[in-house]
Structure 1
Amino acid sequence: MPTELSRLIGGIQPERTVLFFGAGSSIPSRAPSVAKLISVISTKFKIDADGFSLSELSGIVEERFTRKELIESIRPLFKSLRPTGGIVNLPLFPWRSIFTTNYDDLVEQCYRTKSADLAAYSSNFDFTVHGKQNAAKLFKLHGTYEKDISDGHQTRLILTESDYDQTSQYRESLYDRLKSDLAGGHLIIIGHSLGDEHIKAIANRAAQINASAHGGGKVTLLLYQRDDNRAMLFEKRGFDVCFGGIDEFFAELSRSVPATDLVFEASNNPLEHVHALSPVTTDVKHSMDAPSDVSSMFNGWPASYGDVMAGLTFDRTVVEEMVYWFQNDASIVATLLGASGVGKTTAARQCLCQLSRHNVHVWEHRADHTLLSKSWVDVARLIKGRGEKAVLFIDEAHSHLQQVNELLDTLLGEKLTSLKVLCVSTRNHWNPRIKSPALYKAGKEFKLDKLLPQELDRLLNLVDSNASIRPLIENTFSGFSRYERRRRLAERCEADMFVCLKNIFASEKFDDIVLREYAHIASQYQDIYRIVAAMESSGIRVHRQLVMRLLGIPAAETMAALVALTDIVMEYSITEREGIYGWKCRHNVIADIVTRYKYPDASEMATLFERVIDCISPSYEIEIRTIRELCNVETGLPRIPDKVVQNKLLRKMMSVAPGERVPRHRLIRNLIDMGEFEKADTELRIFDKDFGRDGPVSRYQISLLTSRATRSPGILREDRIAILHQARELAITSIARFPNHKSVLSAYCEVGIELCKLTGEYAVFDAAIAELKAAEERVGDPEISKIIARYEARVTAQSVGLVDMLPPETA
């Protein structure tokens, strides 16, 4: 028996509900039906419809005429549409996700009207980080009328059979997302009639997805045209069927479910006035009241704010230095750098706890989310008007550097010194990247290395005086005198106490402790632990759904695994609305140890990377960030020495998310390094077509010409010189666009050095080094100073034996 509309509405929880708008759902807003589209195309091109489907008729028109004419024939039907009736209330509810097969932009208009964030996907080029953490997700399976390849877009309006064939991977990615969203959720398919073949196809696909999800999802068909006989057939297959229009649906829903527009009481918290930040930011003052857990620290978790306030950490000297720096009115940013495991996160949290005592707002950005730089600028303007001060802590700042640069540029440009930023990163990830001049003009770098002598004494005092810590210390260590304990600590204090406490105090090597712990885990969970550790160690953003896809384990078994891995692997919430829960080892030092022993061979790591890429669902921003992190210069693909294997994995990433630039950058660089100049040139031209020119690609274009000039066999010296002068011209043009890009400037210097070798002339090198020194003055990045020193040393060494270094006429 069909479900009454009121009963359907009563059971809806928007945050667990997926809406799927099928054919006919937009008709109340006067959108054209499929029959209308067929009629318009048939009339326009004078082709008898003769029972053809829309895809068949469109294919005929595209063959006989042009694609642009086909697309332009139907666009007028959508351009004047405006949402009317109940659909305008769509943004009032926090839907898990929204899918549609319609070409119109009615959903987008609804969200714009309500000033609500929406991330819309109409092709696989849209699989990227949108930076809107609270945005509703709209997945358009058949594209959008506004964009088509006939206009120069990468998006296809999916009309013809050929369109369906060429976009199958994109739609499969969306159905993978639907499968994840349906787990434990409620899918409502909204259409016109049960007799519509289009609705039948959607319902059948939904049934298959729900059966394979093993998550107990529920599927309801909401149709305008009543058809009790067909309803009976669908109900027999496990569907709920409800008859009603989209206007009635949203009208009833608006009465029955409270709207999600929040009404705040007056508050001193600036984040309550910039709503987008609350879900992705930790309020430090609130977290300082949380209970402490010394055993977690002993097992490797970083100190929490509650641990700091409970006196379970010892003071680091750098903390006082940073607090003093932030008290300088002109300061905007402090950068804390150090190797993994030296206690950077703990030191940063100590700093924030101290600053909170001075009536300063203190927040920590949650590292798994995109940094919302524009929203933080709004906060900075707000607190400046109030005459208040605040500090934002950004851990793993290298992962958010583009947004950090944007934020700092604006803070410095508008003199918004009331909001200060504390960036924490490892030196190997931080130094090579392009950074804003604001980091040096209104900032200061702090370094955290081994424990200082006074810090050793503080550590010993803490161990001696704190009753919570004393029972955790090995008896063999406790028996030593204070002098002997201090002497041993001085030998083994490269890691912070609360990162590797066992290593500092135990008498055995820390690796052995981690491996013995691994050996005592049940065999069925060892595989989960080593894979999670290897992924985290490689920069992959590990979360529950990815682990389930990778290992093929049902949702019910993941909870059993977490219980078995208590205190070893932790689950935490990333985005509850999308059902994303992160998995994290205690510390990346421990993850690195497990990875080093359990994946000793590069081929095993390559196999894991390939499996991860094959399992990636690019509709999740966290998995797009995984693609980016796998391309990093330290812990991702560089672990695989074979560039042929690297390139295969990079091409897989490009196929999954062609809108991502970083894998393309890495592939181009590898091809140049391998001497595959023609392939590199092809990739550069495709990149230029898809995205236009950016800094890294400009650098690679210069490097490609330089490599061709120096490494191509069988060409004359004069030809090498001509190619290098092409590289020089390109470098000059590129520097005009990217004057502070140290990699572009370095590529220019390389051109100068190679011309020195070939001609003995220094003019190009002198011009290049002058540009680099000007950038050093503008930016203040110490890495640029090191680059200058290296190039000047090279050219000096070269000048001594210049005649001997000149190559022959041909190589």
Structure 2
Amino acid sequence: MMDYTEKQVLQGKAVLFLGAGASYNCTDREKKRIGFTGNELLQKINEEFLGNTPNHLTLDFASTMAIQKAGRENFDLFIKELVCDFDPTNEHKLLSEFKWKAIFTTNYDEAIEKAYRENKSALQKIEKIISDNDSLQKVVVNPDKLPIIKIHGCISRPNDTRTPLVISCSDYRRHQENRSSLYQYLKECLTSDLVIFYGYGLGDNNIVGILDDLEKEGVNRTRHIWLDPFMDEMYKDYWESKNLLCKVNNLYDFLSEIKSKKDSNILSLNSFLKNDSVISKLIPSNDRPSNELETYLLKQLLYVEMNDEIKRESDNYNNDIFYRGNAHGFSWVAKNLDFQRAIERTLEVELFENFEISNQLFNFLIINGYAGSGKSVLLKRLAWNGVSKFNGNCFYLSEGATLNTKLIFELIKLIKEPIILFVDNILEHQTEILEIKNFSIKDCSKIMIVGAARSNEWNNSENILDKLNPNFFSLKDLNDFEVKNLVNKLKEFKAEGSLKELSDIDKYKFIKEKSNNQLLVTLLEATHYGQEFSEIIKDEYEGIYDRSAKDLYLSICCFHRHGLELRAGMIKRLSGINFEQFKEKFLQPLELLVTSYYSYRVNDIVYTTRHSYIAQHVFKQAFLSEMDKAQQLIKIIRYLNIGFDTDSKALDFILKGRILAEEFNDKDLAHSIFNIAQDIGVNNAFILHQRAIFEINHQNPNYELALDYLKRINSSDGYYDMRTVEHTKANAYRKIALNSSSKQDKIKYRNLSLKLLNDNIRTSNRTSMPYHTKGLVLLDEIKDCDNENDLVDIIKDFENNLSAGFKKFPYDESLTVLEHDFSDEIDNSPRAIEKIKEALRKNSDNIYIVQRYAKFYIKKNDFLEARTCMLNFLRNDVNNRAINYLMAYSYIKENESLYFQNAIKYLKKCYSPRDSNYEPKFLHACLEYIYQSEEKALKIFTDLNQSNVSPKIKNKPTHMIRDSEGNERFFDAIIVTINDQFGFVKTSKYAENIYVHKSTISNEEDWEALRPGDPLKISIWFSFRGPRAKTAIIL
């Protein structure tokens, strides 16, 4: 029988922590030992830098003096020369034959790396982690990779000022900066895993300090192993007082003994796999999935059918969990606890009938809706029905899973039939979806992706999936059919709560009245009749009787209010409990409130609330004072590990200066939050930047202090974007100018602000912020300007800045608002208009003056005056796009149906096929469709649909077709196809069918009665995707 330690090592779950003693026996190529002890290193430093002084020295003192004398760069190169030829020892070679969770080391040499490179049969591939900028999470979650975490630096990065080699006390004092994630991961491993120390002595204060910190935190942890072949009884007693199991042994003998007990049942995964694959019945040949794919299908990409595990879980499932808003797992699906949505049957036809007969290889469908509308529930129901009702090849990506395209391609080739992948929160997997789409077309494999996404998130500019033109199906408020279904389900499963006392009619009325809320809110308020949602959530929180459970729930809410999971590794440090203890101690008080599952994205169990909306409400109501809130955030920050995306994002949210300025009136509390982040080694530039933003946005701002913080940021920090710092500095100068009563100070600080913003604009293409802030500064100048000659120059600068901004960021909302504010300011200033007229007389070729003058008179409907100045300009610059667009716009505004040919003539000069001048291109398509060529218009709309703008812009309808009186024009139409959400209609006027959504009908309940062939009257408007029905009237 093997003991716990041996099993942990052989299962690859143990962690190694290697000190200088592990490299002592390293040799060079001639097999001469060149490793050294701490005293030998001290002597070498003394000889090289200190003249071999006979004075008594310590390693710390000697290294500090050496750095002062020779400089950091020369000292680090000296250390590199000492260790660069270290060849691996037998111990290094032996450890490379095992799997490890991680290897930590304070050594600078690369002996371990060489051992793994030389061992061609090594079970893992080494990945070095030296600073916070190395991708710790990507290595940790990959079972084929082994993180070797060099917390004191490495000779592979000499003279890295952000992570210098740690050797002197001054190094130790700042060793955590830019290494925060390394030390936090070490503490998590020390808290949760078996760690084997080797090569250390009592002299390593850094390691002793870490163990002491854990002891102070009172964390229950595994008893770690301390190996030392020369340990005497005094040392042994000392280390065992630190809850360490001491073995007088070297690493080679220790591992050799374990290796001799190697059990093939532990090392081989094959013995755990069933003879029959999960998908045996789907594979038409005798082929089998690889072990990797089989494991993936068991844990992550689920073939959704009733099996023994789901049957067992559903038999013991507490229905209240689902009716409290928790849709984790498939037990509730198997028990049919969910009610049928109106859209469900339409989606089943689309997925399991239309997909089967479609000739299209890659098919993409999105279920969208607001947060808490029931998207995840519907997605799981469809995946389940796809197998149970339609015998489809349906696979659901489980919570916490990764979308592994390599394994999915293997799956597709094995099955040799069309497959459907269901992916919740699909925007988290954008790159993988594009890979699957490309594979589908290249391999001629038929695939359907069914994703779910929140409507507001889908409309985000970072969404690259919209270009794939998915079919959209939206979940809206509950209709009559759905309300009745919900009432019946609650009654069937005795989940009505206090609603039970009402009659069926009153139950229906109550839920119907609430149905314009989120479904989540409706469900909770229905089962807690008489209570508002916020009351229910507060009562749930206050009703957690166990104080530790309550604290834990609040910590989970602190993360999940941002949509982030809380890792078990962090919970162990927060509360001192592991997952098994959680189930034992907290399962009952938190069963209805918390969800836990294994996340393959972080290689750990994670915890969330039922929904981020609930977490937001808990966090908002939980604190009696700002002090309580600050203490909670400080506790969270102390244990965050920015090497993991969830923790890094949480830290970004928590430390946002603008949000802290809103949440804390007491500045000292906010700065105490920043202080703790600084203590754990969070990037100093980031903290100083957020402190400055906090001071600028606080109700009691201190702009001078904000500027002081910004000036202290090290501009040579290559990992921090200094452009954002300069933008914040420009904003601070603007605020100082606004609040100054001195004219000279206003001029001074605005000039400083504009200089920074101009530099920002020259170097940044990622955001419209510099253009927007520059526009605000110029608008401030316009409002304060008392010199009429200066006023014209400022207006020209403003128009120039706005034009450049729109060129790079078409339809940008902040720039659109800025233009509106500017127009109001100018249009309401007769003095400004007179000065523009005067400037125009002197220089009719200045485009910015012409633009402003023309816009003013177009707004006043004085088209002749506007066109006169524009035509004068066009004589010298006939192809100027901005003025040609204004000419077209003037004709459209005056009388579109009369002057459409003139408008089209000018619009054609405003864009080329591949540029980003989308507005004239869109107007051209609209006019072509209405008055000239439908075919030509639809080609332009096809191009616009592929444009690089956010889905929100693409889907925004505008430019309604009007009659000769300027009223909404209606066309006779016949329904061609229709489903629960939308349909297509045919008009006698246009050849192609026109999209119509059920929201175009005044009473959406009437939509359900419509059938193909039914007559309608529709009005039409346009989006980038083409013509759409605006209003539909049932005849």
TM-score range for the pair, normalised by the shorter chain length:
0.7 to 0.9
**Conservation of the 8 A alpha-carbon contact between 1:338 and 1:426:** yes
Change (3 A) 1:267 1:427: closer
Aligned match of 2:638? 614
Aligned match of 2:321? 296
1:624 aligns with 2:648: yes
Question: Which one of the candidate residues 421, 424, 447 is aligned to 1:391?
Answer: 421
Aligned match of 1:218? 223
**Conservation of the 8 A alpha-carbon contact between 1:497 and 1:504:** no
Aligned match of 2:874? none
Change (3 A) 1:421 1:648: farther
Aligned match of 2:300? 282
Q: Secondary structure at the match of 2:22?
A: coil
Offset at 1:65? 2.2
- Give the CA RMSD over aligned residues: 5.1
**Conservation of the 8 A alpha-carbon contact between 1:514 and 1:594:** yes
Aligned match of 1:164? 172
Offset at 1:189? 1.8
**Conservation of the 8 A alpha-carbon contact between 2:364 and 2:468:** no
Paired residue type of 1:313 = D
Q: How does 1:426-505 map to 2 (within 5 A)?
A: 434-440=461-467, 442-443=469-470, 447-463=474-490, 467=492, 469=493, 471-474=494-497, 476-477=499-500, 479-482=502-505, 484-494=506-516, 501-505=523-527
Aligned match of 2:62? 57
- CA distance in 1 between counterparts of 2:750 and 2:204 reads 65
Cα deviation code 1:230-259 (max 9, x no counterpart): 787679867544455444444554453358
- CA distance in 2 between counterparts of 1:120 and 1:252 reads 28
Offset at 1:44? 2.8
**Conservation of the 8 A alpha-carbon contact between 2:395 and 2:421:** yes
Cα deviation code 1:199-218 (max 9, x no counterpart): 79957975885697563632
1:140 aligns with 2:150: yes
Cα deviation code 1:438-474 (max 9, x no counterpart): 435545776544223443243345456xx4x2x2224
**Conservation of the 8 A alpha-carbon contact between 1:42 and 1:49:** yes
Aligned match of 1:71? 76
Aligned match of 2:882? none
Paired residue type of 1:733 = R
Q: Secondary structure at the match of 1:572?
A: strand
Offset at 1:594? 3.9
Q: Secondary structure at the match of 1:658?
A: coil
Offset at 1:227? 6.2
Change (3 A) 1:733 1:132: farther
Q: Secondary structure at the match of 1:606?
A: helix
1:584 aligns with 2:598: no
- CA distance in 2 between counterparts of 1:656 and 1:380 reads 43
Q: Secondary structure at the match of 1:584?
A: strand
Offset at 1:85? 3.5
- CA distance in 1 between counterparts of 2:223 and 2:332 reads 43
Change (3 A) 1:727 1:709: farther
1:726 aligns with 2:755: yes
1:155 aligns with 2:163: yes
User: Quick one: higher RCO (CA 8 Å, sep 6+), 1 or 2?
Assistant: 1
Change (3 A) 1:620 1:474: closer
**Conservation of the 8 A alpha-carbon contact between 1:696 and 1:743:** no
Q: How does 1:761-800 map to 2 (within 5 A)?
A: 761-770=794-803, 773-774=806-807, 784=811, 786-787=813-814, 789-800=816-827
Q: Secondary structure at the match of 1:20?
A: strand
Cα deviation code 1:608-655 (max 9, x no counterpart): 222322344556665334313425799888544666644552453354
Offset at 1:565? 0.6
Q: Secondary structure at the match of 1:24?
A: helix
Q: Secondary structure at the match of 1:221?
A: strand
Question: Which one of the candidate residues 604, 612, 622 is aligned to 2:628?
Answer: 604
- CA distance in 2 between counterparts of 1:414 and 1:556 reads 42
Give the unaligned 5+ runs of structure 1. 778-783, 807-811
Give the unaligned 5+ runs of structure 2. 28-33, 786-790, 834-1035
Change (3 A) 1:638 1:185: same
- CA distance in 1 between counterparts of 2:154 and 2:779 reads 51
- CA distance in 1 between counterparts of 2:4 and 2:377 reads 52
Offset at 1:153? 3.1
Offset at 1:485? 3.4
Offset at 1:162? 1.9
Change (3 A) 1:410 1:390: same
- CA distance in 2 between counterparts of 1:240 and 1:122 reads 29
- CA distance in 1 between counterparts of 2:166 and 2:20 reads 14
Q: How does 1:731-750 map to 2 (within 5 A)?
A: 731-735=760-764, 737-738=765-766, 741-743=767-769, 746-747=772-773, 749-750=775-776
Change (3 A) 1:215 1:506: closer
- CA distance in 1 between counterparts of 2:298 and 2:680 reads 27
- CA distance in 2 between counterparts of 1:805 and 1:147 reads 60
- CA distance in 1 between counterparts of 2:252 and 2:136 reads 33
Offset at 1:336? 2.8
Aligned match of 1:25? 22
Change (3 A) 1:67 1:175: closer
Q: How does 1:57-456 map to 2 (within 5 A)?
A: 57-83=62-88, 85-88=90-93, 90=95, 93-108=98-113, 114=122, 116=124, 120-123=128-131, 130=138, 132-134=140-142, 136-147=146-157, 151-167=159-175, 178=186, 180-183=188-191, 185-191=193-199, 197-198=202-203, 206=211, 209=214, 215=220, 217-223=222-228, 225=229, 240-257=245-262, 258=264, 278=296, 282-286=300-304, 289=307, 290-291=310-311, 292=314, 293=317, 294-302=319-327, 304-317=329-342, 324=350, 334=366, 336-339=368-371, 341-353=372-384, 359=392, 362-364=395-397, 366-367=399-400, 376=405, 379=408, 383=412, 389=419, 391=421, 393-395=423-425, 404=429, 406-407=431-432, 434-440=461-467, 442-443=469-470, 447-456=474-483
- CA distance in 1 between counterparts of 2:366 and 2:378 reads 13
**Conservation of the 8 A alpha-carbon contact between 1:731 and 1:744:** yes
Q: Which moved more, 1:129-138 or 1:229-238?
A: 229-238
- CA distance in 2 between counterparts of 1:190 and 1:665 reads 41
Offset at 1:548? 5.9
Aligned match of 2:49? 45
Change (3 A) 1:279 1:214: farther
Aligned match of 1:565? 589
Change (3 A) 1:187 1:119: same
Cα deviation code 1:14-54 (max 9, x no counterpart): 55533221222123443632345334433333621645333
1:689 aligns with 2:686: no
Cα deviation code 1:271-303 (max 9, x no counterpart): 968789949973232576424443311233125
**Conservation of the 8 A alpha-carbon contact between 1:562 and 1:569:** no
Q: Which moved more, 1:95-104 or 1:444-453?
A: 444-453
- CA distance in 2 between counterparts of 1:120 and 1:606 reads 36
Q: Secondary structure at the match of 1:87?
A: helix
Offset at 1:700? 3.9
Which structure has the larger Rg over C-alpha atoms? Answer: 2
Aligned match of 1:809? none
- CA distance in 1 between counterparts of 2:433 and 2:770 reads 22
**Conservation of the 8 A alpha-carbon contact between 2:192 and 2:221:** yes
**Conservation of the 8 A alpha-carbon contact between 2:733 and 2:753:** yes
1:649 aligns with 2:685: no
**Conservation of the 8 A alpha-carbon contact between 1:562 and 1:570:** no
- CA distance in 1 between counterparts of 2:345 and 2:155 reads 58
Paired residue type of 1:488 = F
- CA distance in 2 between counterparts of 1:358 and 1:688 reads 61
Q: Which moved more, 1:129-138 or 1:202-211?
A: 202-211
**Conservation of the 8 A alpha-carbon contact between 1:96 and 1:181:** no
Cα deviation code 1:533-578 (max 9, x no counterpart): 6524643644556556556789997556404414234463446999
Offset at 1:156? 2.0
Offset at 1:159? 1.6
Paired residue type of 2:651 = I
